Chains A and B, each alone.
Chain A
Amino acid sequence: MVKIPIRVLVVDDEKDFVEMLSLRLNESGQKVVQAFNGKECLDILEKDGVDVVVLDLKMPGMDGIEVLKEIKQRFPLVEVVMLTGHGTAETAVEGMKLGAYDYLLKPADFEELLGKLEAARNRKESQEERIRRAEAKLMVRRSGGLS
C-alpha cells in the first residue's frame, strides 16, 4: 500500500533544526514546508494546505503558545504537535488544553514523531470527513424542503 504523504509545516527559530528535520521528513516521503517564526507559520497556513504543524514553543517574537492559540482559532482543523527543547509539565498541559494533538520533548525519537504526525493527520481527515457528511445532509434537507 502506498502511503499518502503527510503535509507537515515545521516551525522553529532554530534554522538548522528546521532544515535537518525537513530533510529527514522529506526523505521519509512527507511533504514539508518550513517557517522560522509564528508569523511565517500563519502566513503559510493562509495559503498552503497543511495537515500537521510541528511547533516549537520557545521562539522570539510570537511565542509558541500564542501561535498555537491563533492556529486553533483560525485553522481549527489543522493539527499541532508541539516539539520543544524547553519543555515543562506546565507548558505541556497548557498546550494540550489549547487543543494540541501531542507534545514531544527535543531531541525526539524520529519514529515516535512520525507516528504522532500520522495519527494527527488521520484525526484531521476523519474530522473533515464528518464535516463533509454533515454538510451533505444539510444540502439534502434543504433541497428536499424546496421540492
Chain B
Amino acid sequence: MTEREHSDRPVRLLLVDDEAHFRDAIARRLEKRGFTVSKAPDGGTALEILEKDPIDVVVTDVKMPGMDGIELLGRIKDLHPEIEVLLLTGHAALDDGVAGIKAGAFDYLTKPIELEQLAGKIRHAHDKILREEEKRREAEFRRQVEEQMIVTERLASLGTLSTGMAHEINNPLAIIKESAGWLSMILDKPEMADMPRRSDFRKGLEKITDGVERARRITHQLLGGVQKRSETIVDVDLKDLAAESTELVAREAANKGVEIVHQIEPDARRIRTDPYALRQALINLVNNAVQATQSGTVAIAARRAGGAIEIQVRDTGPGIPAEYRKKIFEPFFTTKDPGKGTGLGLYVTRNILEKLGGGIEVESSVGKGTTFTISLPVAEPTGADGRNKRNPR
C-alpha cells in the first residue's frame, strides 16, 4: 500500500554535470518522462541542494573540475546514505565505473548515454530506495511491537505480584485494625475516664488506625474494589457520566481557578459499557488532570471514531517528561508525596479499560499539557459474557 503511494510520486532527481548544454538537454528529456529534475554544475552546489531539498536519486558525471563524481559519491554516501547515485563515465573510463560501484554507486553508464537506459536505471535505483524504506519501516514497527510487548508483560507480572501481595497483606491489616478498634472502644468506657496518660493512648491508636486506613486504600484499590453485581453492561449516557466524573473535583478545580469543560459530541453520547468501571477510570484521569494543573483548563471530550468512541481528558498542566511517560501506568509509580498519591490511579484505569475491551494512550508535551485518550467499542456485541471470558481470574 505504501509502496504504491510512493511509486506514484515522481522520482526526484539531481543531475550533476559541468557541461551546461548536456545537463539541460538531459534534464529536459527526463522531465518529459515524468521525473522531477534539479540541476547542479558541480559537486559543491550538488551538496548544497541535497542539504535543503528532498532528492531520491543523484545522477552525476565523473569527470568534473574540482570535486569529481567519485568524491561527490563518497560525500553523498556519508551525508545522505539513503540516496542512490548513478555515475556517468567517459567512453574509455571503465575503471571509473568499477571504482564507483565499489564506493557505493548504484550503477554507472558510459557516455554517450542512451536516455531509455538511463531512465530505466533511475527507476531501478528508486525501486531499491523504496525497498530499503519499507525494510526500515518494518524494522521500526517490529521494534515498537517488541517494546510494547516488554512493557505489557512487565505490567502483567507486576500486576499479578501486587494483587497477590494485596491479598496477603489484607489479613494482617485486618488484625491490626480490629485490635486498634477494640482498644479504642475500651478507652471510651466510663471506667477508663481516669486512666493515666489516656490521651497518649488515644493518640497512638489514632495513628495506627490512620496508617491502616492508608494501607487499606492501597490494597483495596489494587484489587479494584469488590463488585457484587455480575450484570453491569448497560446503555450509558456519556454526558451524564462525564458530569458525574467531574463532580468530585469541581470544588478543588474552582478553588485553583481551573476551568472544567465538557465537549461530548452528540453522536458519541451513547455507549454500551459498565458505567461504574468507566466512571472510575474517568475520575482517576480527571483527578490527575486537576491535581497537575495550576490554572487553565481541564477538558473531557468524546467523539465518534468509526466503531469506537474516543474519550479524551486534556489538561493545560505541566505535562509529563518523556522518561516518566513509559512508567506512569505501572503500579506504584507516583511523583506525589507519600500518603498523597498511591501511584495506582493509572494502573487501575488501564486495567479497567482493558476489561471493557478498550485501551488508553497518553500524549504529553512538557510545559503545555497532557492528553489521555481512551478508546472503547461503541457496543459490546458479546455482552457481559464475552467480558467475563476475557478475564478469567
**Which residues of A does B touch, CB under 8 Å?**
14, 16-17, 20-21, 23-24, 27-28, 85-90, 92-93, 96-97, 102-108, 110
Contacts and interface: CB of A to CB of B under 8 A. Distances in A.
Interface stretch (B59-67, B223-231, B298-306): B223-231
Interface in B163-196: 167-171, 173-179, 181-182, 185-186
A20 B175 contact: yes
B212 A27 contact: no
Contacts of A28: 185
Considering residues A28, A90, A106, A107, which has the most beta carbons from chain B within 10 angstroms of its beta carbon? A107
Contacts of A85: 167-171, 173-174
B216 A107 contact: yes
Given A17-B171, A85-B167, 18 more contacts: A16-B175, A20-B175, A21-B178, A24-B181, A27-B186, A85-B170, A87-B223, A88-B226, A89-B226, A89-B393, A92-B228, A93-B227, A93-B229, A93-B230, A97-B230, A102-B228, A106-B173, A107-B216
B8 to A, nearest CB: 53
A107 B174 contact: yes
5 contacts: A14-B175, A20-B175, A27-B185, A85-B168, A105-B223
A46 to B, nearest CB: 27
Nearest to A84: B170
B228 A103 contact: yes
B26 to A, nearest CB: 74
A23 B228 CA distance: 29
Interface size class of B (residues with CB under 8 A): 20 to 34
Contacts, number: 77
Contacts of B175: 14, 16-17, 20
A106 B185 contact: no
Contacts of A96: 228
Contacts of A17: 171, 174-175, 178
A16 B173 CA distance: 11
B223 A107 contact: no
Contacts of A93: 227-230
Contacts of A104: 226
Contacts of A86: 167, 170
A62 to B, nearest CB: 18
A102 B178 CA distance: 20
Contact of B212 (A88, A105, A107): A107
Contacts of B178: 17, 20-21, 23-24, 107, 110
Interface centre among B175, B212, B220, B225 (most CB of A within 10 A): B175
A129 to B, nearest CB: 26
A85 B170 CA distance: 5
Contacts of B223: 87-88, 105
Given A20-B175, A20-B179, A27-B185, A107 B227 contact: no
Contacts of A108: 174
A86 B163 CA distance: 9
A27 B186 CA distance: 8
Contacts of B176: 107
Contacts of A16: 175
Contact of A106 (B170, B182, B225): B170
Contacts of A88: 223, 226, 393
B78 to A, nearest CB: 61
A104 B216 CA distance: 13
Nearest to B185: A27
B272 to A, nearest CB: 19
B184 to A, nearest CB: 9
Nearest to B178: A20
Contacts of B169: 85
Interface string B229-258: 110000000000000000000000000000
Nearest to B188: A27
Given A86-B170, A107-B170, A24 B182 contact: yes
Contact of A110 (B168, B181, B228): B181
A92 to B, nearest CB: 5
Given A24-B178, A85-B167, A105 B220 contact: yes
B170 A27 contact: no
Given A106-B174, A107-B177, A108-B174, A20 B182 contact: yes
Nearest to B171: A85
Contacts of B220: 105
A103 B226 contact: yes
